[in-house]
Structure 1
Amino acid sequence: MLDVDRRQVLAYRIAAHGLHREVADPDRLAVFDLGVQDVTKRDTAVLALVARLPDAARAQTLLDDAGFTLGWTHRGAPHYHRSAEFRALIPALLPLDDADAEVRMLWQRKEIAAAGLPGTTVLHTAATALRDVVGEPMTKGAASTEVTTRIPEGLSRWCRGCQATHIHEQLMRLATPIAGIRLEPGTSPATLAPLAKRPRIPTTADVAGATRIVQSYLRLHGPATASDAAGFVGTTRTTVADRLWPADLAEVTVDGRPAFLPAEHLPELENPPEPAFVRLLPPWDPLLQARDRAVLVPDKAHQKELWKILGNPGAILADGEIAGFWRTRSAGKRLEFTMTELWPLPTSARAATEQEAERVAQAREYGDLRITWA
């Protein structure tokens, strides 16, 4: 059995994620096999492409590219997917049964009791109401207000901040793609819109499609475990291990711990290319979506700094390691960067980091930048 250490795993993942900048066409980036998470106010999806494409300006076209569709998909988080694949993805997002639906909706016993309906029925009820309401672009708030009047009381809750009753947040997010609804790119507040020629609401989960999602996770974030893949999907380890586990996996050990990778990618893990470069990864970058965070960042204090509940920084990737964090703030037409090293970087790495900052500023359409090393 092949045994690898975390440095070799990181080198493999960096190559699998396209960070060597060998692909010029965004559509061919393997990260879109899973989707690229987006936080509009932070330009995270655009900056994830800046880190991967040779031409940084090409990343800016993502918001207007009909070849990509934005939707609330994995775990209810907004992700860009290839438009040609989006409709086929929808039934693969459907929970496998009532228990799975309740886990994905993040419901506890009190929510289940209040609903008085099986989990899959709850999701189908919400999706039907959303489909009826969203016939044209409308803000999330407007859609939620209208949907709440069409669903049973147990599917909504009082929002103290809005001083109004809304459909449960996670329920709305999971039901939206099932209803054939996407998100409008670059809008704040979030704006919902119907898919062109939207499909009917699926009633049966596409188990084969869901298994392919797990397989893509293991390919991009492997070697990994069923628990890791379940964390990405938003379900339980048992659901993945018993019902969504792909065939043709190779078992390896990572620093002595068992993990799995699609067997066809074993040669790439055995001899990954050397990641001798610097990249600025935005918050929620695809590489940072791995659930085995100790492989990416061994120090627990550094993990807490990188993966916060709110306000994640970006990561400085230098020579195959997460070597620091970066943040920005705007000052008029200037974008100000604060770089924080986890250990002293060589002069060449600092210079490369500043070149990457220029690419970020260009993509965010700032004519000037200032860099401070903390």
Structure 2
Amino acid sequence: MGAATGVPRLGRAAVLGHRVRAHDLDRPGGGARVLAVGLQDHPPGRTAEPALRLRGGPPPGRRTVLLHSLRGALHLHDAEDAPLLAAALRVDDARQLQRQTAGPTLFRVQEEGPGLQRALDRAAVAMREAADSSPAHTKGELSTAATSAVEPLIPAAAPWCAGCGVRHIDDLLFRMATLLAGLGASLVDGATVYRRLPEAGEPPPADVARVELVQRFLRVFGPARPVDLAAWTGRTPATARSWWSTAASALRPVEVEGKRRWAPDTPGEAPEPGEAPPGSVRLLGPYDPFTALADRAFLVPDPVLRRRVWRAAGTPGTVLARGEIAGVWRRRTRGGRLDIEVAPFGAEPGWGVADLEDDARLLADCAGASEAAVRVDAEIQP
């Protein structure tokens, strides 16, 4: 492996520099590349729009929509990508999903009667018919329609809910079915409602769609490994490897710190050995795409700092300085002002309030605040 075998050797700085540019974080004036893989929105209405605006917003003329896509979570996408995502992310067998993604219910559905594929198809048809009868539906309304369709055929798909006192469709099954039904989500008075998307063409064959998704993944998150794709999609490592094999002709291996990874086999879409991170300093929100990949130890080698970035609850925002995650931050809204409290990783980070003010004002605007105030102090414990 390495230069002697024709495999490029890349240092960590080259990979980080490439990712900053691939994530449209060097202020290029557009977020086309991250929109091609989706920006997680959690809680709804809080994280995707700021992340896209930090990259310059959507490309001109493109319409965005919230979809239950990767791992069933809400992500902001280009609306025209809905058929591709539905084809690529369709699950025909619960055993293709990681257990922490699927939960116990979907495995019971797989084992009982017609199985998960039939349950998804029935739920999607019921949701589509309900959506055709009215411009918008709440989650509860769609869940009622889907439950009535799947519960008689596969009772395990609609387990008893003690809190509601009724049976209703499993939540992940519901979310996956919305994508198959061609439904997009939006917020209306703080509630999530679903609408039929305008027709965006026929979905491609599943293998074709998955090859495209693997290539998009590597353009933004590469160089990466099949196990990273598995975590990103919520699929098992074996399923991710099968997708990877289908796309293999479009990939090329590289060596990063002695380990084999892969990048797109297209000029300009893989790091160059001499590439270096830009000197910019950015405020990234919680669930920003830059921190969405599973290779957390690569992004933040120090395990103590890593626990401050990725927490079990209360995910903070991060500071990206010259390619490195260099701090975390929390926000508080007071009146019409957004207060951002930043804890750098180190007493003398080499950047300060002035470097963060532009992004802080943009985040304030996204939060509906008229002004922003930034405080940088290593003693803050966000």
TM-score (norm 1): 0.87
Q: Which moved more, 1:125-134 or 1:327-336?
A: 125-134
Asked whether the 8 Å contact 2:13–2:275 carries over to 1, the reply is no
2:114 corresponds in structure 1 to: 117
Deviation larger for 324-333 or 263-272: 263-272
Q: Which of 23, 26, 30 is matched with 1:20 structurally?
A: 26
Deviation at 1:155, TM superposition (A): 0.6
What residue in structure 1 maps to residue 232 of structure 2?
232
Amino acid at match of 1:151: V
Classify 1:74/1:133 alpha carbon distance in 2 versus 1 (closer, same or farther; 3 Å): same
- Judging changes above 3 Å, is the alpha-carbon distance between structure 1 residues 244 and 259 closer, same or farther for their aligned structure 2 residues? closer
Equivalence for 2:215: 215
Q: Report whether the alignment pairs 1:32 with 2:60.
A: no
Number of the residue aligned with 1:44: 47
TM superposition shift of 1:308: 2.7
Unaligned segments of structure 1, at least 5 residues? none
Given the alignment, which residue of 255, 261, 264 partners 1:262? 264
Report the TM-score, using the length of structure 2 for normalisation.
Answer: 0.85
For structure 2, list consecutive stretches of 5 or more residues without a partner in the other structure: 1-6
Which secondary structure does the structure 1 equivalent of 2:272 belong to? helix
One-letter amino acid of the counterpart of residue 261, structure 2: A
Matched, 1:130 2:127: yes
Q: How does 1:1-374 map to 2 (within 5 A)?
A: 1-22=7-28, 24-26=29-31, 29-41=32-44, 43-53=46-56, 67-95=63-91, 97=93, 99-100=95-96, 105-107=102-104, 111-112=108-109, 115-135=112-132, 136-152=135-151, 153-185=155-187, 188-197=190-199, 206-245=206-245, 246=247, 247-264=249-266, 265=268, 268-346=271-349, 348-372=351-375, 373=377, 374=380
Aligned pair count reads 362
Code of the residue aligned with 1:139 in structure 2: it is: T
Q: Deviations over 1:136-156 (max 9, x none)?
A: 311112221332222222111
Local SS of the residue matching 1:269: coil
The verdict on how the C-alpha distance between 1:41 and 1:85 changes in structure 2, with shifts beyond 3 A counting, is: closer
Once the two structures are superposed, residues 46-69 of structure 1 have per-residue CA deviations (whole angstroms, 9 ceiling, x without a partner) of 21123212xxxx57x99xx87112
Q: Which amino acid aligns with 2:192?
A: A
Q: CA RMSD in A?
A: 2.8
Q: How far does the alpha carbon of each residue in 1:54-112 deviate from its partner, in whole angstroms, 9 at most, with x for none?
A: xxxx57x99xx871122111111111221223223321221265632686644468624
Q: Alpha-carbon deviations, 1:139-176, whole Å to 9, x = none?
A: 11222133222222211123344444321111111111
Q: In structure 2, what residue type is equivalent to 1:92?
A: A
Q: Distance in 2 between matches of 1:286 and 1:90?
A: 20
In structure 1, what residue type is equivalent to 2:217?
Y
Give distance in 2, aligned partners of 1:132 and 1:305.
46
For residue 307 of structure 1, report the CA deviation from its aligned partner.
2.2
**Which letter maps to 1:357?**
A
Secondary structure of 1:353 counterpart? helix
**Aligned with 2:230: secondary structure?**
helix
User: Alpha carbons of 1:198 and 1:181: their partners in 2 closer, same or farther (altered >3 Å)?
Assistant: farther
Contact 2:80 2:200 in 1 (8 A): no
Q: Is the 8 Å Cα contact of residues 89 and 209 (structure 1) preserved in structure 2?
A: yes
Q: Is the 1:95–1:205 Cα contact (8 Å) retained in structure 2?
A: no
